[in-house]
Amino acid sequence: MAQPKKAGGDKKAAVDSSAKFEKLLKKTARGAHYTLRLYITGTTARSTEAISNIRKLCEEYLAGRYDLEVVDIYQQPGQAADAQIIAAPTLIKDFPAPPKRLIGNLADREKIIVGLNLRGDKPDENVTWSTL
């Protein structure tokens, strides 16, 4: 004869399943292949610095696990319009989910590291990343 289920039994199973899923998601994100797009404005010093900073960070934290597309909004205004770029430089992380963007000065390494969740930390609420 089957034992009757306790009223809270399903809740505990749901919590356990959620915790396991979140743990698996964190592991997957750490080994994930990143897809990034950097929107710049021509060959200005600020654009050159942004490209250099992002490439250095990617090589340091994501070596062999990233694709970086650099889009010059002067040469490809249609792509910038499609992505709703309103300022440059802008870095967009398409993958792993959730998509995020960092607008403005990309010289602050810590902000980028936290925003891309490269240390496995939860994103800092004070960082100017936004979910797309």
pLDDT class of 2 with cuts at 50, 70, 90: low
**Higher local confidence (pLDDT), 120 or 109:** 109
Per CATH, domain 33-131 is 1.20.1050.10:
no
List C-alpha distances in Å: 19 to 11, 13, 117.
12, 10, 19
Average pLDDT over residues 119-123: 51
For the entire predicted model, the pTM comes to 0.68
Average pLDDT over residues 55-61: 93
Average pLDDT over residues 23-41: 76
Q: Phi, psi at residue 103, to the nearest 5°?
A: -110, 135
Asked whether the predicted pLDDT for residue 122 surpasses 50, the reply is no
Cα–chain-centroid distance for residue 57?
Answer: 13
**What does the mean pLDDT of the chain come to?**
80
